[in-house]
Amino acid sequence: MNYPEDDDPVERSLDTLAIRAGTQRTAEGEHSEAIFPTSSFVFASAADAAARFSEQIPGNIYARFTNPTVDLFARRLAALERGQWGIATASGMSAVLASCLALLQQGDELVYSADIFGATVTLFAKYLPRYGIRTTAVSLTDLAAWQQAITPRTKLFYAETPSNPLTQVVDIRQLATLAHENGAKLIVDNCFCTPILQQPLTLGADLIIHSATKYLDGQGRCIGGAVVGDDPLIYKEIYGFLRTAGPTMSAFNAWVFLKGLETLPLRMRAHCAQAQQLAEWLQAQPAVKHVYYPGLLSHPQHALAKAQQRGFGGIVSFELADQTAAWTVIDAVRVFSITANLGDTRSTITHPATTTHGRLAQADRDKAGITHGLVRLSVGLEDLSDLQTDLMRGIKQL
């Protein structure tokens, strides 16, 4: 049966798409999305099975390939990113891995911004080279460095903007142009902004990576990821790799992420408003040497962030005198969670130099500007004054 909302006109706004896009009801007419916890699917006959396996007719075969709940999540996310297709993965890292292994081969080269998620750095710096893929790290905002790193074997550019933890912003359009002029594709990890604040495909990027674990869920419950893009050939490569290699998303997790997406626009606006106020308040504290937040006029790429993004996001970092000061503030909190996760309704506080970026060599950390006085916040949705009181307890001791 066709229900009236089954089609998704692209002109619908993000608020509507987040709740409605991709909806396909079963014959039961359920209002909330159905969950399909099944590992395989049955066929009407031997001929039906043969036709589905040979892809003469579309249809489910096995949940490592397709699952209706997982596919609905991928379709809805793709609609939000204004992409032609989406593929859900078991984690954000499996989205990165599947994209790289599907699109690169021995002898190919990948250029990436140094300031990216720690596990992605390890994948690029340690594991991919084992398989004959050369990887080069450059400074996110230094376009001349990206240009210099290009060789005839460069196939992929990989960037995260705003970066973690220093919230640097790159011009996606310029980076995409540079990649395309040199026969490479641009992958953007859009985890920090989500499609609500930034849609990299509309700015020229070829692929988007998501860790659904962060804002898409937004309530710290599940691990998951996704890849979104436009090119059908790239879809075929990544989907083919994924259904063969296996890091696909479970139906249970997909259902939780669907619930997360429903409130994503609302939460992102609230995260932005709250982070802006907290960043401005931190900037006024004498013990705070510097605040990193794209929404501040003092941010070197404030104008770019304003043009490229619909909001400045929920991640705020700030610099204190040294590690003792940073740890004093962290150890004094009672509302903030001391955890490396981010994108949650709960505010979190991290010391990047000794946790998320602890495995980097000192020289690389220095180059990236991650000092021992740096503290990173993921600003959640608790009451603002409770968060200020919580930080003030430690700041007063400095």
Ligand X SMILES: *Cc1c(COP(=O)(O)O)cnc(C)c1O
Interface positions with ligand X (CB under 6 A): 91-93, 117, 119-120, 160, 164, 189, 191, 211, 213-214, 223, 225
* Cα–Cα distance, 228 to 200 (Å, whole number): 10
Nearer Cβ to ligand X (281/336): 336
Entry field: residues in the chain: 398
* Cα–Cα distance, 338 to 394 (Å, whole number): 14
In 3-state terms, what secondary structure has residue 159?
strand
CA–centroid distance for 162 within its chain: 11
CA-closest candidate to residue 136, choices 200, 148, 98: 148
Nearer Cβ to ligand X (119/143): 119
Nearer Cβ to ligand X (73/281): 73
Residue 338 Cβ vs ligand X, minimum distance, rounded to whole Å:
17
Nearer Cβ to ligand X (186/288): 186
Query: What is the H or E stretch that residue 325 is in?
Result: helix 323-331
Nearer Cβ to ligand X (139/378): 378
* Cα–Cα distance, 87 to 279 (Å, whole number): 35
Residues 21, 249, 172, 302, Cα dihedral to 10°? 80
- For residue 126, the 8-state DSSP code is I
Residue 297 Cβ vs ligand X, minimum distance, rounded to whole Å:
25
Are 158 and 128 in contact by the 8 Å Cβ rule? The answer is no
